[in-house]
Amino acid sequence: MKRWYQHKSLWILLFTVLSIFVIYNVNADHKITYLALGDSLALGQNAYGAIDYGYSDYLANYFEKNNMLGSYSKSFAQSGYRTTDLLNDIEKGKEMMIDGKKVNIKRALRESNFLTLSIGANDFFELLNQKGSMLSLPTEEVATEILNEIDRRIDRTLKEIRKYAKGEIYVIGYYNPLPRTIKNEIVAPAMEKMNMMYQKISEKYHCTYVAIDDVMARNMDYLPNPNDIHPSSKGYEQIAMAIIKQLNEN
């Protein structure tokens, strides 16, 4: 009888320890380790060239207010970045100082459970410029060639990211950024096709695609500088709201 009570006490102790462990891990899993990757949109560059409060900051603030945020970094996002730059960072294991510690991008990807990605617009304009088509309507052949190349680049980028990041990935679509400086017939149809490609590739790698073209088209105040493609603070806030809406729907 004494031995039975000893075993019973041991089982109670084990059950208590296990319960505490499970509760701790469930609560830990609900904390978001947020990593923002990509170009100037991910970084939060404003319409006048300064790094300001971007959509990733609004999103991190939303998580913080709802007691969901464990950590947040946009240190690996860079203005002007193309898919090729981001791939190079991952393949070479780029390191950045985050909260006083040197962090490798592969480690940051592995430790993230929520990631947003804005990339590809600089690839588009780079390729368009190479074809000499920035100020004239490209031929159907040239447009198809550019979009096919971007399709390959985006696919490769998400494939590489997915090697390390196993959590939620939200791929942010693009909007026509030059409605007043370049004829719409050059950029708008290409951006529409790019977004369709983004959505398809996002599904392939089990990511969530977030459309923002309609959001940005609703109010011209979201693009306050006619000589710059970047949103205002209000524009960035609306992009964050589009992500949050998609997040809640999921």
Record the pTM. 0.84
Q: Is the same domain home to 24 and 49?
A: no
Q: How many domains does the chain have?
A: 2
Q: Is the same domain home to 4 and 114?
A: no
d(CA 235, CA 237): 5
Q: Is the same domain home to 15 and 120?
A: no
Please give the pLDDT value at position 12: 46
The residue type found at 51 is: I
Q: Is the same domain home to 244 and 131?
A: yes
Q: Is the same domain home to 95 and 3?
A: no
- Beta partners for residue 114, in sequence order: 34, 168
Q: Is the same domain home to 74 and 117?
A: yes
Please give the pLDDT value at position 169: 98
Q: Is the same domain home to 22 and 119?
A: no
Q: Is the same domain home to 24 and 38?
A: no
Q: Is the same domain home to 24 and 45?
A: no
Contacts of 17 (CB under 8 A, 6+ apart): none
Closest CA to 173 of 220, 208, 219, 147: 208
Residue 142: give the domain boundaries. 33-249
Q: Is the same domain home to 99 and 216?
A: yes
- What CATH number is attached to the domain comprising 101? 3.40.50.1110
pLDDT digits (tens), the chain, 250 positions: 555 445 555 444 444 434 434 333 444 457 999 999 999 999 999 999 999 899 999 999 999 999 999 999 999 999 999 999 999 999 999 999 988 899 999 999 999 999 999 999 899 888 878 876 555 556 777 878 888 999 999 999 999 999 999 999 999 998 876 655 555 566 677 778 889 999 999 999 999 999 998 888 878 789 888 888 899 999 999 999 999 999 999 8
